[in-house]
Structure 1
Amino acid sequence: MTGPSAHPGRQVFHEHRRLLFSVAYRLLGSAADAEDAVQDAWIKWSAADRSQVADPKAYLTRIVSNLALERLRSTRRRRETYVGPWLPEPILTGPDASESVTDAESVSMAMLVVLETLSPLERAVFVLKEVFDFSHAEIAEAVERSEAAVRQAAHRAREHVRARRPRFTADRSRQREVTERFLAAVAGGDVNALMELLSPDVTLWTDGGGKVRQALRPVVGAATVAAWFAAIGTVTYQGVDPADMRAGPAEINGGPGLVFGAPGRVIATLTFDFDAEGRITAVHNVANPDKLRAVADGTAHDVRTR
């Protein structure tokens, strides 16, 4: 876009662009797909008779939700043939995302993984209702279903998410401290220090997408996961010598995470799930280069819902 004033509807679209990306990313779990949906929404908005639009925000959200829903249905089929665990595409988020528990929780890797197990309709309804606080009537219009169907889908989705997503409230400073200690333990190859930070039944999910060598199944248990990470500094990974590997903390998907890189490229991101005591219960490791572009780009996304 060349500037908000170049097109009569551009200023209005520009005002709501952040919100549209926030909706599309939660629906799709992919920054690239979300940007495409926002771009397609701009094309539809440009061609619309805007004199008939009473509420541009609702209208634009409806357009982007519909586009994301269509895209979700087609990407679903591709994900069924994916090599190894499928994880969402990580994004860098600003500190403002973690100020609101709802915003941070709803964009976390763990939540996006759970949302992936919903049907496309349930996912759209859950995101619009629980995260963006739309009414059932507004959602019915957005997804082109009856209000009764939307209420039903909302109920099913809420129960499904509640069963699979226990809410833990280890505070932010504790999460950050554990993340930093984890990084130090990995850098030092210190298995014992790693063991102290991990829950006994911790699970490591690694997404290489068949493009890089990764565990094709979840790695379970503190001893196995600790050994996996302690070895990082001792082996060449993706052609990168341990001496050239760099790692540092970053805000990823609304919480503390780590970015591993080599000269000129990002190799992987790590994000964590914590229990109430602050121990790590899950590690999400994204190493598929196709999913690291948003992080490599270095742009922090504003994913607030308000």
Structure 2
Amino acid sequence: MTTGPSSAGLEAAFLENREKLTRFLRARGAGDAAEDLVQDVWLKIAASRPGPVASPLSYLFRTADLLMIDRFRSQRQAGARDRDWTEINAGDPPGVSAEPSAERRIAAAQEAAGVLAVLDALGDRAATIFRRHRIDGVAQKTIAADLGISLSTVESDLRVAYRALAEWRDRAR
């Protein structure tokens, strides 16, 4: 395949100014897609056979800008299409409830009761530490200060609680 003089001039201008095109696209908001867009510019000029181009660099920048706009529009339309599809298809299928079945509720209640029993068997301090840290999200250092114990004691009680819950889970399976 032979390359005409105008195409060769564009390709040479592209190869000389690849970094400039990448920086231009990043500055225009392309972000991580800038490299992909520069590759698209290359594919576009390699596949097209434009007539003589008076200003190859301007032509390349304009092509890059238009490709970026096309990509942005395409992504925006895809997002809108996905949102519309989700809105239309969201919700429960006809005849099916989002509420868990009675059996699932009972199983969940039994599992919660089992976890509470394991925690209660650890003693008040270990159960309190576990609940405050894992359920309330309180930092271990804060728990230690509030209870007047060392951080290593809090860590030790948490290890005991984790081990007890893991053993309970293994027995329950």
TM-score (norm 2): 0.36
Higher helix share: 2
Higher strand share: 1
Structure with the greater alpha carbon radius of gyration: 2
Looking at both structures, which has the greater relative contact order when contacts are Cα pairs under 8 Å and sequence separation is at least 6? 1
